[in-house]
Amino acid sequence: MISKTTIDNVYETARVEEVIGDFVNLKKSGSNFKGLSPFTDERTPSFMVSPVKQIWKDFSSGKGGNVVAFLMEHEHFTYPEAIRYLAKKYGIEIEETEQTDEQREQADERESMFLVTTYAQQYFEKVLWKTETGKAIGLSYFKERGFSDDTIRKFGLGYSPDQWEAFTKTALGDGYKLEYLEKTGLTIVKDGVSGEKKTFDRFKGRVMFPIHSMSGRVLGFGGRILGNDKKAAKYLNSPESDIYHKSKVLYGINFAKQAIAREDNCYLVEGYTDVIQLYQSGVENVVSSSGTALTPEQIRLVNRLTRNITVLFDGDAAGQRASLRGIDLILEQGMNVKVVTFPDGEDPDSFARGHSDDELKDYLKSEAKDFIQFKTSLLAKEAANDPIKKADTVREIVQSISRIPDRIQREIYIQECASMMNISEAVLFNTLAQMGKKHGADAAKKAREEQKSFQVVRDDAPADKVDVQYELERKIIEVLLLYGKQQQEFEDLVLKENEEGDLVLEPEQYKARVFEKIYLDLQDDEIELAHEQFRKIYARLITEMNENEEFSLNSFLNTLDQNLSAEISSILMEEEKYMLHDWERKDIYPKEKENGVAQLVSETILTLRCYLIKKRIAALQKDTESGEEDHREILEEIINYLQLTKLLNKKLNRVIA
């Protein structure tokens, strides 16, 4: 178990903008940073990070919190895993306290699966370097591929012995459960003839490529067979599991993410060895779809870091043709695509081995073609002098262009296509318009179907109303978080009777800290916050501010559970979302809240009083509707409340009927 000293040290050292910057391409926006949401599919930024408050908020999904909450949401870390990740990133030594048997048992299933995959990676790596078989077969294969010792160690490459149960028996002997060995796909379990369980190593006799998440956790493996067994697949991947979804993973993304953001470009290749070879040659911004067809989820992983993708194709035309669908998917995500093709018989791996680092980089730069040039030249060769094939080729190119969300880009590509294919722009624009109508009709049909499924709910559900008390209580928490320890000059209203016998509110000036003012006002009126989340946060805040001279938001968030932490981040970042609209560029300058803290506090408390009085009056009026008994006392109370409401609204500069 990690000690509190280590946890406190991690919170004090970790910077939310640095950690999130490893996963999301952040751009400065005033005193904050903004970027595309890592949790939803979007094209305009709704994700904000506040370095001052050390919190983040995703307005598209509603998620938010501190740096640990981000890792738990994005990487599905447990709390201890998030702390360990941050400690490793910032070079903080982890102090451990003894963990009880009960605490060990409470480790959830996902964590257990990650422990197994991490153990397996270390086992395969140890076999590669420490055993004669591993060195003779596995290590010699990697050396033949031109990989250096440093590269092999960096990517955690390994070797699985060519024995049926070598890994499984060792793992079981070291205390790992067969249940998790099977769930991660490392061990295949089958029922024997007599009912006993038979186990087999899935990757027996293969060199191993660990597949990591963006944060560096081992999700699964790719294994390449080295023998000549024609019945066995050349490459074998871990099966889908709770921690490994191949459609959502890019091989090498954990090593490439910083280089992708730095270079503002991502090279996309097909295989594991392509990634490793290019990385070794100094091209670090490279990832692979691991031999699977490119998916929208994989593209969105890259889209968080850059809007530019360069696809590297092998020399054979058949493979290039099959990969064109992936380019269309990239275009649909609103990204910029370039293509580099290698000479016949070459792939990124072999080309990098046969050329110097500088020659490779120069080739990638000089041979990068716009996707429209690439696709037109590739399909034009196939069409040759056949008019029907040429017409089909033109339609296919326009089909790709129609997927681009940006209208200006679409028009420029149409002009290029017209020039290259020697066909009039008018015809191409007409074809594009027809495709646009079809896309629109399909989208409208889908929307109508979705709408129909919610018709009953919509018709029966009452119209949404603003929960006034919820908003006011939320504002009280926000003011406490932002200005709770500030000293302000307040003007209080004291209820007095004038010479005519009427109740009047007379102002009195005094100084107090914001949290004291709020606490005493709510105590005087015997007001308890109605919403459970706010009630919990309020109680913790008042205690924290009363007991400690200095208030640290980061330390305070550290003491809360994930739900309360996310609620606080949501409150604090609510107004930050308006920065996403760049109002100042439109010559609109919102008033800073700091300029009127005392007024904000007084108005919030007064408004809450008015609202609660209004609720009380409504309840009293309801009492007068029953029976024929004397209601004079109730009516007198209502009149007093109405007089008080009038006075409070006068103070708030509101006119009431």
Flag whether pLDDT at 525 surpasses 90.
no
Say if residue 500's pLDDT is above 90.
no
pLDDT of residue 46: 87
Separation between Cα atoms, residue 585 and residue 317, nearest integer Å: 49
> What angle, rounded to 10 degrees, do the helices at 532-547 and 468-483 form?
20
Token pair of 96, please? 């451990």
Out of 11-15, 353-357, 388-392, give the one with best mean pLDDT: 353-357
Is the pLDDT higher at 594 or at 410?
Answer: 410
Is the model more confident about 224 or about 417? 224
pLDDT top residue among 508 and 27: 27
For 648, the 3-state DSSP assignment is helix
Q: What is the pLDDT of residue 39?
A: 86
Count of beta carbons in the 10 Å neighbourhood of residue 305: 29
Q: Which residues pair with 55 in a beta bridge?
A: 50
Q: What confidence tens digit (pLDDT) does each residue in 238-254 have?
A: 999 999 999 999 999 99
> Bridge-partner residues for 207, per DSSP?
159, 224
Residues in Cβ contact with 153 at an 8 Å cutoff, skipping those fewer than 6 apart: 125
pLDDT of residue 594: 53
Report whether 346 contacts 315 (CB < 8 A): yes
- Total residues belonging to the chain: 657
| pLDDT score of 217 more than 60 | yes
- Residues 452-463: what's their mean pLDDT? 45
In this model, does residue 258 exceed pLDDT 70? yes
Please say if the pLDDT value at position 459 is more than 50: no
- Most trustworthy range by pLDDT among 163-172, 488-497, 503-512, 553-562: 163-172
**Low-confidence winner among 55-69, 100-114, 416-430 (lowest mean pLDDT):** 100-114
Comparison of pLDDT for 550 and 338, the residue scoring more: 338
Give 581-623 pLDDT, tens digit per residue: 554 554 544 445 555 788 888 888 888 888 888 887 777 777 7
pLDDT (mean) for 540-552: 85
Give the mean pLDDT of 256-263: 91
Q: Please say if the pLDDT value at position 540 is more than 70.
A: yes
Point out the least confidently predicted range of 135-139, 196-200, 316-320, 329-333: 316-320
Higher pLDDT, residue 456 or 551: 551
Whether the pTM exceeds 0.75: the reply is: no
pLDDT in tens, 47-62: 999 998 889 988 888 8
Of the two residues 503 and 213, the one the predictor is more confident about is 213
What is the identity of the amino acid at 618?
A
In the chain the domains, ranked by start, together with CATH numbers, are 4-104 (3.90.580.10), 108-244 (3.90.980.10), 253-440 (3.40.1360.10), 468-580+593-651 (no CATH)
State the distance between the two ends of the chain, measured CA to CA, in whole angstroms: 63
The model's confidence at residue 642, banded by pLDDT at 50, 70 and 90, is confident
Provide the mean pLDDT of the chain. Answer: 83
Other beta carbons less than 10 A from residue 447's beta carbon: 10
Q: How far apart are CA 394 and CA 418, in angstroms?
A: 9
DSSP string for residues in 78-95: -HHHHHHHHHHHTTPPPP
pLDDT tens sequence across 281-298:
999 999 998 767 889 899
Two tokens, residue 517: 């003012």
